[in-house]
Amino acid sequence: MSELPIRDELRGIQAYGAPQLDVPVCLNVNENPFPPSEALVADAAAAVADAVRGLNRYPDREASELRAGLAAYLERESGVSLRPEQVWAANGSNEVMLQILQAFGGPGRVALSFAPTYSMYPEYARDTATTWVTAPRREDFTVDVDAALEAVATHRPSVVLVASPNNPTGTAVPLDLVRRLHDATEATRTVVVVDEAYAEFRRDGTPSALSLLAGHPRLVVTRTMSKAFAFAGARLGYAAASEEVVDALRVVRLPYHLSAVTQAVASAALRHADELQARVRQLRDERDRLAEWLRSTGLEVADSDANFLLFGRFSDRHAVWQGLLDRGVLIRETGPDGWLRVSVGTPDETAAFTAALTAVVGDGA
Ligand code: PMP
Protein backbone atom coordinates (compact mmCIF):
# COMPACT_ATOMS: atom_id res chain seq x y z
CA MET A 1 0.00 0.00 0.00
CA SER A 2 2.85 2.39 0.83
CA GLU A 3 3.78 2.22 -2.88
CA LEU A 4 0.56 3.98 -3.90
CA PRO A 5 0.91 7.60 -5.01
CA ILE A 6 -1.69 8.75 -2.47
CA ARG A 7 -1.77 12.50 -1.78
CA ASP A 8 0.55 13.45 1.10
CA GLU A 9 -2.30 14.80 3.22
CA LEU A 10 -4.14 11.45 2.96
CA ARG A 11 -1.17 9.23 3.74
CA GLY A 12 -1.77 7.01 6.77
CA ILE A 13 -5.30 8.31 7.35
CA GLN A 14 -7.97 5.71 8.13
CA ALA A 15 -11.53 6.08 6.84
CA TYR A 16 -13.57 7.72 9.58
CA GLY A 17 -17.15 7.06 10.68
CA ALA A 18 -19.15 6.53 13.84
CA PRO A 19 -19.04 2.90 14.97
CA GLN A 20 -21.94 0.88 13.51
CA LEU A 21 -22.46 -1.63 16.34
CA ASP A 22 -25.30 -4.09 16.79
CA VAL A 23 -26.67 -2.71 20.07
CA PRO A 24 -30.29 -2.67 21.36
CA VAL A 25 -30.41 1.12 21.83
CA CYS A 26 -28.56 3.24 19.23
CA LEU A 27 -28.47 6.90 20.21
CA ASN A 28 -25.14 7.79 18.60
CA VAL A 29 -25.68 9.37 15.17
CA ASN A 30 -28.65 11.70 15.68
CA GLU A 31 -31.02 9.59 13.64
CA ASN A 32 -34.77 9.91 13.95
CA PRO A 33 -35.89 6.84 15.94
CA PHE A 34 -39.25 6.55 14.21
CA PRO A 35 -39.27 4.53 10.98
CA PRO A 36 -41.28 5.85 8.01
CA SER A 37 -45.05 5.28 8.31
CA GLU A 38 -46.67 2.43 6.39
CA ALA A 39 -48.46 5.04 4.25
CA LEU A 40 -45.08 6.50 3.25
CA VAL A 41 -43.62 3.04 2.70
CA ALA A 42 -46.46 2.22 0.27
CA ASP A 43 -46.18 5.55 -1.54
CA ALA A 44 -42.37 5.32 -1.82
CA ALA A 45 -42.55 1.69 -2.99
CA ALA A 46 -44.99 2.62 -5.77
CA ALA A 47 -42.79 5.59 -6.75
CA VAL A 48 -39.71 3.35 -6.83
CA ALA A 49 -41.50 0.78 -8.99
CA ASP A 50 -42.32 3.56 -11.42
CA ALA A 51 -38.75 4.83 -11.38
CA VAL A 52 -37.35 1.33 -11.93
CA ARG A 53 -39.43 1.00 -15.11
CA GLY A 54 -37.37 3.88 -16.49
CA LEU A 55 -33.94 2.92 -15.21
CA ASN A 56 -32.64 2.19 -18.70
CA ARG A 57 -32.51 6.01 -19.00
CA TYR A 58 -30.37 8.42 -16.98
CA PRO A 59 -32.31 10.33 -14.32
CA ASP A 60 -33.49 13.93 -14.59
CA ARG A 61 -30.15 15.68 -14.24
CA GLU A 62 -31.79 18.77 -12.77
CA ALA A 63 -34.06 16.85 -10.34
CA SER A 64 -36.71 19.42 -11.25
CA GLU A 65 -39.75 17.81 -9.59
CA LEU A 66 -37.84 17.16 -6.39
CA ARG A 67 -36.40 20.67 -6.20
CA ALA A 68 -39.87 22.17 -6.72
CA GLY A 69 -41.18 19.90 -3.93
CA LEU A 70 -38.36 20.97 -1.61
CA ALA A 71 -39.05 24.66 -2.33
CA ALA A 72 -42.74 24.13 -1.51
CA TYR A 73 -41.81 22.29 1.70
CA LEU A 74 -39.48 25.10 2.82
CA GLU A 75 -42.23 27.64 2.23
CA ARG A 76 -44.61 25.61 4.43
CA GLU A 77 -41.98 25.00 7.10
CA SER A 78 -40.37 28.44 7.32
CA GLY A 79 -42.72 30.77 5.45
CA VAL A 80 -39.97 31.67 2.97
CA SER A 81 -40.91 31.60 -0.68
CA LEU A 82 -38.19 30.29 -3.01
CA ARG A 83 -38.05 29.46 -6.70
CA PRO A 84 -37.12 25.82 -7.48
CA GLU A 85 -34.01 27.22 -9.20
CA GLN A 86 -32.86 28.45 -5.78
CA VAL A 87 -32.89 24.94 -4.36
CA TRP A 88 -30.20 22.33 -4.96
CA ALA A 89 -30.28 18.64 -3.97
CA ALA A 90 -27.59 15.97 -3.60
CA ASN A 91 -26.82 12.70 -1.83
CA GLY A 92 -27.00 13.95 1.75
CA SER A 93 -26.05 17.40 2.94
CA ASN A 94 -22.54 15.98 3.26
CA GLU A 95 -22.39 15.93 -0.54
CA VAL A 96 -23.87 19.42 -0.78
CA MET A 97 -21.17 20.67 1.57
CA LEU A 98 -18.44 18.99 -0.46
CA GLN A 99 -19.83 20.60 -3.61
CA ILE A 100 -19.81 24.00 -1.88
CA LEU A 101 -16.11 23.60 -1.12
CA GLN A 102 -15.40 22.23 -4.60
CA ALA A 103 -16.97 25.36 -6.06
CA PHE A 104 -15.87 28.02 -3.57
CA GLY A 105 -12.88 26.52 -1.71
CA GLY A 106 -9.78 24.88 -3.16
CA PRO A 107 -6.00 25.34 -3.05
CA GLY A 108 -4.91 28.66 -1.57
CA ARG A 109 -8.37 29.29 -0.12
CA VAL A 110 -9.62 29.16 3.46
CA ALA A 111 -12.79 27.73 5.02
CA LEU A 112 -13.56 29.08 8.50
CA SER A 113 -15.85 27.69 11.19
CA PHE A 114 -16.42 27.94 14.92
CA ALA A 115 -15.24 25.07 17.11
CA PRO A 116 -16.36 22.74 18.51
CA THR A 117 -18.41 21.93 15.44
CA TYR A 118 -19.28 19.16 12.99
CA SER A 119 -16.33 16.80 12.66
CA MET A 120 -16.84 16.23 8.92
CA TYR A 121 -16.14 19.83 7.89
CA PRO A 122 -12.34 19.49 8.12
CA GLU A 123 -12.60 16.34 6.01
CA TYR A 124 -14.43 18.13 3.19
CA ALA A 125 -11.81 20.87 3.45
CA ARG A 126 -8.94 18.37 3.25
CA ASP A 127 -10.55 16.54 0.31
CA THR A 128 -10.93 19.78 -1.65
CA ALA A 129 -7.43 21.02 -0.67
CA THR A 130 -9.01 23.95 1.17
CA THR A 131 -7.20 25.32 4.24
CA TRP A 132 -9.29 24.65 7.36
CA VAL A 133 -9.35 27.25 10.13
CA THR A 134 -11.48 27.48 13.27
CA ALA A 135 -12.15 30.21 15.81
CA PRO A 136 -13.27 29.11 19.27
CA ARG A 137 -16.83 29.34 20.56
CA ARG A 138 -17.49 30.74 24.03
CA GLU A 139 -17.61 28.46 27.12
CA ASP A 140 -21.38 28.06 26.62
CA PHE A 141 -20.82 27.14 22.91
CA THR A 142 -22.38 30.35 21.55
CA VAL A 143 -20.45 32.35 18.93
CA ASP A 144 -19.15 35.77 19.92
CA VAL A 145 -19.97 38.16 17.08
CA ASP A 146 -16.92 40.38 17.53
CA ALA A 147 -14.57 37.39 17.73
CA ALA A 148 -16.23 35.92 14.62
CA LEU A 149 -15.80 39.16 12.67
CA GLU A 150 -12.19 39.39 13.81
CA ALA A 151 -11.54 35.82 12.61
CA VAL A 152 -13.06 36.69 9.25
CA ALA A 153 -10.86 39.79 8.96
CA THR A 154 -7.75 37.79 9.90
CA HIS A 155 -8.27 34.71 7.72
CA ARG A 156 -10.20 36.23 4.78
CA PRO A 157 -12.01 32.92 4.13
CA SER A 158 -13.78 32.21 0.87
CA VAL A 159 -16.27 30.05 2.81
CA VAL A 160 -17.60 30.42 6.36
CA LEU A 161 -19.47 27.40 7.75
CA VAL A 162 -21.86 27.89 10.65
CA ALA A 163 -23.84 24.88 11.83
CA SER A 164 -27.08 26.09 13.41
CA PRO A 165 -28.15 24.15 15.40
CA ASN A 166 -24.54 23.15 15.84
CA ASN A 167 -23.35 19.56 16.10
CA PRO A 168 -22.26 18.37 18.70
CA THR A 169 -23.48 21.16 20.98
CA GLY A 170 -27.08 21.75 19.76
CA THR A 171 -26.50 25.52 19.83
CA ALA A 172 -28.36 27.72 17.33
CA VAL A 173 -26.88 31.08 16.29
CA PRO A 174 -28.90 34.31 16.14
CA LEU A 175 -29.65 35.65 12.66
CA ASP A 176 -27.78 38.82 13.54
CA LEU A 177 -24.51 36.83 13.44
CA VAL A 178 -25.30 35.48 9.97
CA ARG A 179 -26.27 38.94 8.71
CA ARG A 180 -23.09 40.49 10.07
CA LEU A 181 -20.84 37.73 8.71
CA HIS A 182 -22.38 38.26 5.29
CA ASP A 183 -22.14 42.05 5.44
CA ALA A 184 -18.56 42.02 6.76
CA THR A 185 -17.37 39.88 3.85
CA GLU A 186 -18.55 42.07 0.98
CA ALA A 187 -14.96 42.76 -0.11
CA THR A 188 -13.84 39.10 -0.09
CA ARG A 189 -17.18 37.89 -1.59
CA THR A 190 -17.21 35.11 1.02
CA VAL A 191 -19.89 32.43 0.80
CA VAL A 192 -21.61 32.14 4.20
CA VAL A 193 -23.07 28.68 4.76
CA VAL A 194 -25.57 28.04 7.52
CA ASP A 195 -25.88 24.28 8.00
CA GLU A 196 -29.44 23.74 9.22
CA ALA A 197 -29.38 19.93 9.24
CA TYR A 198 -31.38 20.00 12.50
CA ALA A 199 -33.46 23.13 11.85
CA GLU A 200 -36.87 21.51 12.19
CA PHE A 201 -36.09 20.70 15.84
CA ARG A 202 -35.42 24.33 16.75
CA ARG A 203 -37.29 25.77 19.69
CA ASP A 204 -40.16 28.18 19.10
CA GLY A 205 -38.89 31.66 18.40
CA THR A 206 -35.60 30.50 16.85
CA PRO A 207 -35.80 31.70 13.22
CA SER A 208 -34.29 29.92 10.24
CA ALA A 209 -31.59 31.63 8.18
CA LEU A 210 -33.82 30.97 5.15
CA SER A 211 -35.52 34.26 6.02
CA LEU A 212 -32.26 36.08 5.17
CA LEU A 213 -31.84 34.65 1.67
CA ALA A 214 -33.55 37.61 0.03
CA GLY A 215 -30.95 40.36 0.00
CA HIS A 216 -28.01 38.12 0.96
CA PRO A 217 -26.81 36.63 -2.33
CA ARG A 218 -23.74 34.88 -0.84
CA LEU A 219 -25.77 33.07 1.84
CA VAL A 220 -26.35 29.32 1.50
CA VAL A 221 -28.67 27.43 3.85
CA THR A 222 -28.27 23.65 3.83
CA ARG A 223 -30.83 21.14 5.07
CA THR A 224 -31.28 17.39 5.05
CA MET A 225 -33.99 14.74 5.01
CA SER A 226 -31.82 12.58 7.31
CA LYS A 227 -33.15 13.97 10.59
CA ALA A 228 -36.63 15.54 10.63
CA PHE A 229 -37.80 13.39 7.71
CA ALA A 230 -36.47 10.19 9.31
CA PHE A 231 -34.85 9.40 5.97
CA ALA A 232 -31.13 9.06 6.73
CA GLY A 233 -30.87 5.90 4.63
CA ALA A 234 -32.26 7.62 1.54
CA ARG A 235 -29.33 10.11 1.42
CA LEU A 236 -30.97 13.35 0.44
CA GLY A 237 -29.59 16.73 1.43
CA TYR A 238 -30.32 20.10 -0.11
CA ALA A 239 -29.39 23.75 -0.16
CA ALA A 240 -31.30 26.98 -0.62
CA ALA A 241 -29.40 29.96 -2.01
CA SER A 242 -29.33 32.51 -4.81
CA GLU A 243 -29.59 31.09 -8.33
CA GLU A 244 -26.00 32.20 -8.90
CA VAL A 245 -24.78 29.97 -6.06
CA VAL A 246 -26.88 27.04 -7.28
CA ASP A 247 -25.43 27.48 -10.78
CA ALA A 248 -21.92 27.19 -9.31
CA LEU A 249 -22.89 23.93 -7.57
CA ARG A 250 -24.32 22.64 -10.85
CA VAL A 251 -20.89 23.13 -12.42
CA VAL A 252 -19.12 20.81 -9.96
CA ARG A 253 -21.78 18.10 -9.53
CA LEU A 254 -21.10 14.72 -11.07
CA PRO A 255 -23.16 13.84 -14.14
CA TYR A 256 -26.58 12.51 -13.05
CA HIS A 257 -25.44 12.59 -9.40
CA LEU A 258 -28.91 11.98 -7.96
CA SER A 259 -30.37 8.62 -8.96
CA ALA A 260 -33.94 8.31 -10.23
CA VAL A 261 -34.68 6.05 -7.24
CA THR A 262 -33.41 8.67 -4.77
CA GLN A 263 -35.44 11.39 -6.49
CA ALA A 264 -38.57 9.23 -6.40
CA VAL A 265 -38.38 8.29 -2.71
CA ALA A 266 -37.49 11.83 -1.65
CA SER A 267 -40.48 13.25 -3.54
CA ALA A 268 -42.67 10.60 -1.88
CA ALA A 269 -41.37 11.61 1.57
CA LEU A 270 -42.21 15.24 0.84
CA ARG A 271 -45.82 14.22 0.22
CA HIS A 272 -45.87 12.95 3.82
CA ALA A 273 -44.13 15.93 5.41
CA ASP A 274 -47.11 16.88 7.56
CA GLU A 275 -47.32 13.53 9.33
CA LEU A 276 -43.55 13.65 9.90
CA GLN A 277 -43.85 17.02 11.58
CA ALA A 278 -45.94 15.50 14.39
CA ARG A 279 -43.01 13.17 15.14
CA VAL A 280 -40.64 16.15 15.17
CA ARG A 281 -42.80 17.87 17.80
CA GLN A 282 -42.77 14.68 19.87
CA LEU A 283 -38.97 14.48 19.68
CA ARG A 284 -38.61 18.12 20.69
CA ASP A 285 -40.71 17.45 23.80
CA GLU A 286 -38.73 14.29 24.52
CA ARG A 287 -35.48 16.30 24.21
CA ASP A 288 -36.68 18.94 26.66
CA ARG A 289 -37.79 16.28 29.14
CA LEU A 290 -34.45 14.47 28.89
CA ALA A 291 -32.51 17.74 29.35
CA GLU A 292 -34.52 18.45 32.47
CA TRP A 293 -33.86 14.96 33.82
CA LEU A 294 -30.11 15.20 33.15
CA ARG A 295 -29.97 18.58 34.91
CA SER A 296 -31.96 17.18 37.83
CA THR A 297 -29.15 14.66 38.35
CA GLY A 298 -26.65 17.51 38.66
CA LEU A 299 -25.17 17.21 35.16
CA GLU A 300 -24.56 20.12 32.80
CA VAL A 301 -26.50 20.13 29.54
CA ALA A 302 -25.86 22.49 26.63
CA ASP A 303 -29.04 24.27 25.46
CA SER A 304 -30.18 22.34 22.39
CA ASP A 305 -32.27 23.26 19.37
CA ALA A 306 -31.51 19.86 17.80
CA ASN A 307 -32.52 16.21 18.31
CA PHE A 308 -29.57 15.49 20.60
CA LEU A 309 -28.04 16.73 23.84
CA LEU A 310 -24.44 17.36 24.83
CA PHE A 311 -24.05 16.65 28.53
CA GLY A 312 -21.28 16.32 31.11
CA ARG A 313 -18.96 16.85 32.59
CA PHE A 314 -17.23 13.60 33.42
CA SER A 315 -13.66 13.20 34.59
CA ASP A 316 -13.51 9.98 32.54
CA ARG A 317 -16.08 10.25 29.77
CA HIS A 318 -14.80 7.14 28.03
CA ALA A 319 -15.63 5.07 31.13
CA VAL A 320 -19.20 6.44 31.08
CA TRP A 321 -19.53 5.77 27.34
CA GLN A 322 -18.23 2.21 27.82
CA GLY A 323 -20.48 1.62 30.85
CA LEU A 324 -23.52 2.62 28.80
CA LEU A 325 -22.42 0.39 25.92
CA ASP A 326 -21.99 -2.53 28.33
CA ARG A 327 -25.66 -1.98 29.23
CA GLY A 328 -26.77 -1.97 25.59
CA VAL A 329 -26.92 1.78 25.01
CA LEU A 330 -24.65 3.31 22.35
CA ILE A 331 -24.10 7.08 22.53
CA ARG A 332 -21.30 9.23 21.09
CA GLU A 333 -17.98 10.16 22.62
CA THR A 334 -17.51 13.46 20.84
CA GLY A 335 -17.14 17.17 21.48
CA PRO A 336 -14.98 18.79 24.14
CA ASP A 337 -13.31 16.54 26.67
CA GLY A 338 -15.61 15.62 29.55
CA TRP A 339 -18.79 15.81 27.48
CA LEU A 340 -20.87 13.12 25.77
CA ARG A 341 -23.62 13.39 23.14
CA VAL A 342 -26.87 11.45 23.17
CA SER A 343 -29.48 11.46 20.40
CA VAL A 344 -33.12 11.78 21.38
CA GLY A 345 -34.87 8.44 20.88
CA THR A 346 -38.31 7.00 21.57
CA PRO A 347 -39.66 7.20 25.14
CA ASP A 348 -38.57 3.55 25.63
CA GLU A 349 -35.05 4.36 24.42
CA THR A 350 -34.89 7.38 26.72
CA ALA A 351 -35.93 5.14 29.62
CA ALA A 352 -33.20 2.62 28.73
CA PHE A 353 -30.63 5.43 28.53
CA THR A 354 -31.60 7.08 31.82
CA ALA A 355 -31.63 3.71 33.62
CA ALA A 356 -28.22 2.80 32.21
CA LEU A 357 -26.73 6.22 33.03
CA THR A 358 -28.06 6.03 36.58
CA ALA A 359 -26.40 2.64 36.98
CA VAL A 360 -23.10 3.78 35.45
CA VAL A 361 -22.84 6.99 37.44
CA GLY A 362 -23.94 5.07 40.57
CA ASP A 363 -21.00 2.77 39.90
CA GLY A 364 -18.76 5.79 40.32
CA ALA A 365 -17.73 6.31 36.66
N1 PMP B 1 -24.51 18.71 9.05
C2 PMP B 1 -24.53 18.39 10.35
C3 PMP B 1 -24.31 19.45 11.35
C4 PMP B 1 -24.74 17.05 10.72
O5 PMP B 1 -24.71 16.72 12.02
C6 PMP B 1 -24.94 16.07 9.73
C7 PMP B 1 -25.18 14.61 10.04
N8 PMP B 1 -24.77 14.09 11.17
C9 PMP B 1 -24.89 16.47 8.40
C10 PMP B 1 -24.68 17.79 8.09
C11 PMP B 1 -24.99 15.50 7.26
O12 PMP B 1 -26.17 14.88 7.11
P13 PMP B 1 -26.57 14.09 5.78
O14 PMP B 1 -25.38 13.94 4.91
O15 PMP B 1 -27.12 12.81 6.27
O16 PMP B 1 -27.60 14.97 5.14
The domain that contains 313 carries what CATH number?
3.90.1150.10
> Ligand 1 atom 2: the closest Cα is on which residue?
197
**Are residue 213 and residue 80 in the same domain, yes or no?**
yes
Tell whether 214 and 332 lie within a shared domain: no
Q: Are residues 158 and 100 in the same domain?
A: yes
Total domains present in the chain? 2
Ligand 1 lined by 92 (C-beta under 6 Å): yes
Residues 54 and 30 in one domain: no
Q: Collect all residues with Cβ–Cβ distance below 8 Å to 11 and sequence separation of at least 6.
A: none
Give residue 164 CA to ligand 1 midpoint distance, Å: 11
Do residues 310 and 323 both lie within one domain? yes
Of 234, 251, 272, the domain-final residue: 272
- Which of 251, 272, 293 terminates a domain? The answer is 272
pLDDT of residue 350: 97
Q: Are residues 27 and 70 in the same domain?
A: no
User: Residue 167's domain spans which residues?
Assistant: 38-272
- Of ligand 1's listed atoms, the one at least distance from the Cα of 165 is 3
Q: Tens of pLDDT along 38-75?
A: 999 999 999 999 999 999 999 999 999 999 999 999 99
Domain co-membership, 266 together with 306: no
Which residue stretches of the chain have pLDDT < 70? 1-2, 363-365
Ligand 1 center from residue 81 Cα (angstroms): 24
175-182: long-range contacts, CB 8 A cutoff, minimum separation 24: 175/207, 175/209, 175/211, 175/212, 176/145, 177/143, 177/145, 177/148, 178/209, 178/212, 178/216, 178/219, 179/212, 179/216, 180/145, 180/148, 180/149, 181/148, 181/149, 181/152, 182/212, 182/216, 182/218, 182/219
Q: Is 42 found in the same domain as 32?
A: no
The answer to whether residue 1 sits within a structural domain is no
The pTM score is 0.97
Q: Which of 253, 272, 291 is the C-terminal boundary of a domain?
A: 272
Pair (232, 242) in one structural domain = yes
CATH number for the domain spanning 101: value is 3.40.640.10
Write down the pLDDT at residue 19.
82
ipTM exceeding cut-off 0.95 for this assembly? yes
Is 2 among the domain residues? no
Q: Are residue 212 and residue 331 in the same domain, yes or no?
A: no
Could you tell me if the CB of 163 is within 6 A of ligand 1?
A: yes
Question: Are residues 121 and 181 located together in one domain of the fold?
Answer: yes
* pLDDT given for residue 365 in this prediction: 59
Same-domain pairing of 212 and 104: yes
Distance 54 CA to ligand 1 centre (A): 30
User: Ligand 1 pocket, 222 CB below 6 A?
Assistant: no
Q: How far away, in angstroms, is 187 Cα from ligand 1 center?
A: 30
| CB distance 232 to ligand 1 below 6 Å | yes
Q: Which atom of ligand 1 is nearest to the CA of 224?
A: 16
